[in-house]
Amino acid sequence: MNNSWIAEIWSLAGLLLVAFILGLVFGHVSLFMLVATLGYLGWTFYNLYHLRRWLAIGRKYHPPDSFGIWGDIFTEIFRLQRRNKKRQKRLVKLLGRFRETTEAMPDGVVVMQASGVIEWWNEAGGRLLDLKYPQDVGQRLTNLIRNPEFLSFIENNNRHEVLNFAAPADKNKIIAVQLTPYGMDQSLLIVRDVTILQRVEQIRRDFVANISHELRTPLTVMSGFLETLTGDDTITDKNLRRSLELMKQQSKRMYRLVEDLMLLSKLENEQRPVKHEVVAVPQLLTTLREEAMIISGDRNHQITLDVDLDLYLYGDSKELDSAFSNLVINAVNYTPTGGAINIRWYQDDTGAHLSVSDTGIGIPPHHLSRITERFYRVDVARSRETGGSGLGLAIVKHALGRHAAHLRIDSEVGRGSTFICDFPPEAMVNKSEAREAI
């Protein structure tokens, strides 16, 4: 108990003692005690009244005059008020600085409630999304930006997803948006102007598409001549024959590389949605198995096929054929002689799946996240030996992406790898339904 409490108790005790003695002197103890108690109660009410008035007025800085425990209470509250005011000032300053910083940011920021109602935005956010102050505060962002892709992007609320679309205020600009939930039911929409990036990316794609197209014709001519020359029996010089053979091999490799580059460019540049024809996957896989047996040759791989004969897909047969054949040919190329390769085509609750497993060399775990990048190889020398272009898995990834499918890789060094393509249920079609559709 602090000093003021002890002093207060002593004062009250002193008051009651004086009242008691006076009561004894005048012969009315109860009356004097009652008057003293009422007096104390009156004092307490008086102070409570001032406290209430002071707190209600609020702006008056100085507390009411008093003494004893009440004096202490007033001083404590006054000190607390001053401390809060200082803290408030500091917070206002901080908020001001935060706003200045976000205003200066080149990226747009929009603060929204989880329901999509806009609370605040910075200058870049307002400019890129064409938001008007104050009428757009409190509006739903999806009511202002009427773009179906943007609507499903906001509804899905996936923090890792980035959506690119034409800026509402200027259709020549491309903006990228990303949604990050934070705090209690709030989300932050980050908006970036990616027009230049997209243009550079388009230039790169066009360059690769054009260069591979331009290279194909001279390469075809060269390969043709080399084919003729290597078959010419009049050339008897051993060294010359060997050189011609090597040139033929290398030109074939280059041709394959150019073909893969062209296919990848086509998949990347394709703006139209994927064709929705019915693809008879079991038949496609049977043909692929036969091709794989030919490539395997005297390496004698055991290639088994385990397919659901009634399971067909909606999609583009050429793109799916490229994706699946790359997986099967890789399995053959990266599995030692006599190894086993299993191709499985099946369905479950999550959709349709193609899995290609092998008992090959496997892939070290730290390569897995980058393996689908173009020209990424675990062992460059081995990939060259097998005639690989380093583009196979990039083609698989792009072709699957166009079918809303995903690639999963499970691998262990020395034991083998499994590549699984997961297709959504919407892409599946039953053989009998497929016949009707055709």
**Footprint of ligand ADP on this chain (CB under 6 A)?**
326, 330-331, 334, 358, 360-363, 371, 377-379, 383, 388-394, 417
If the CB atoms of residues 273 and 414 are measured against ligand ADP, the closer one turns out to be 414
> Using CB atoms within 10 A of its CB, is residue 194 exposed (0-12), middle (13-18) or buried (19+)?
middle
CB-CB neighbours of 61 under 10 Å = 9
**For residue 423, what are the β-bridge partners?**
352
If the CB atoms of residues 393 and 429 are measured against ligand ADP, the closer one turns out to be 393
CB of 430 to ligand ADP, least distance (A): 31
DSSP 131: -
Angle between helices 317-333 and 281-296 (to 10 degrees): 30
Amino acid at 105: M
CB of 171 to ligand ADP, least distance (A): 37
Compute the distance between CA of residue 365 and CA of residue 251 in angstroms, rounded to an integer: 34
Is the backbone peptide bond immediately before 134 cis, with ω within 30 degrees of 0? yes
If the CB atoms of residues 69 and 396 are measured against ligand ADP, the closer one turns out to be 396
186-193: strand order across its sheet: 118-121, 108-113, 186-193, 174-182, 162-166
If the CB atoms of residues 202 and 249 are measured against ligand ADP, the closer one turns out to be 249
CB of 226 to ligand ADP, least distance (A): 22
Q: Residue 28 is encoded by which pair of tokens?
A: 């009315």
Specify whether the CB–CB gap between 285 and 307 falls below 8 A: yes
If the CB atoms of residues 175 and 394 are measured against ligand ADP, the closer one turns out to be 394
DSSP 105: -
Centroid of chain to Cα 177: 11
If the CB atoms of residues 219 and 363 are measured against ligand ADP, the closer one turns out to be 363
CB of 392 to ligand ADP, least distance (A): 2
> Using CB atoms within 10 A of its CB, is residue 343 exposed (0-12), middle (13-18) or buried (19+)?
buried
If the CB atoms of residues 221 and 380 are measured against ligand ADP, the closer one turns out to be 380
The alpha carbon dihedral of 355, 360, 365, 371 has a sign of: negative
DSSP string, 210-248: HHHHHHHHHHHHHHHHHHHHHT-TT---HHHHHHHHHHH
CB of 123 to ligand ADP, least distance (A): 45
CB-CB neighbours of 435 under 10 Å = 10
If the CB atoms of residues 130 and 412 are measured against ligand ADP, the closer one turns out to be 412
CB of 334 to ligand ADP, least distance (A): 3
If the CB atoms of residues 311 and 393 are measured against ligand ADP, the closer one turns out to be 393
If the CB atoms of residues 36 and 343 are measured against ligand ADP, the closer one turns out to be 343
CB of 337 to ligand ADP, least distance (A): 15
DSSP string, 142-187: HHHS--HHHHHHHHHT-TT-EEEEE-SS-TT-EEEEEEEEETTTEE
